[in-house]
Amino acid sequence: MMGEGNRISLKFGVLFVIACVSFQQLCATSDTIFYESFDETFDGRWIVSEKDEYTGVWKHAKSEGHDDYGLLVSEKARKYAIVKELDEPVGLTGRTIVLQHETRLQNGLECGGAYLKYLRPQEAGWKPNEFDNNSPYSYHVWT
């Protein structure tokens, strides 16, 4: 017969093993393809469109009332476009893909829109610095 102290030790031992296995599975299944916190400046890592219609200048700063950094638009009534190239193309079929972004409209939005586009590989006929509304994409999320 097991004493009270041994039962408590066994319970904690089992919980510890379950926690370790769960943590190991979490780490093993962590297949994040891309994550951007914007803790550091985006210069050299993101490509700003050089098309004439995209005259807006991106800023790396903290948004009002928040401690985290992000990409901020610097002027109203301008078009902005910025591209992040992944190391390799990611297929959207045969697996679960989660595309997530956060948008804070700290000064509202008038006569415009904000969106995320999952672009096709460059072999589809586009260049990151020439991104425009006609660049080929596979998925489009409006904010």
* Domain range annotation of the chain: 1-30
As to burial, measured by CB atoms within 10 angstroms (0-12 exposed, 13-18 middle, 19+ buried), residue 44 is exposed
Structure tokens at 70: 């992000």
Residue 4 has pLDDT above 60, yes or no: no
15-36, pLDDT tens digit by residue? 444 443 444 444 434 678 888 9
Question: Cα dist. 96→32, 80, 91, 121 in Å?
Answer: 12, 29, 10, 19
pTM, rounded to two decimals: 0.70
Closest CA to 54 of 21, 83, 12: 83
CA-CA distance, 6 to 93, in Å (whole number)? 51
Percent of the chain having pLDDT more than 70? 79
Residue 92 has pLDDT above 90, yes or no: no
CA-CA distance, 60 to 49, in Å (whole number)? 16
Residue 119 has pLDDT above 80, yes or no: yes
Question: Cα dist. 59→104, 133, 142 in Å?
Answer: 14, 21, 21
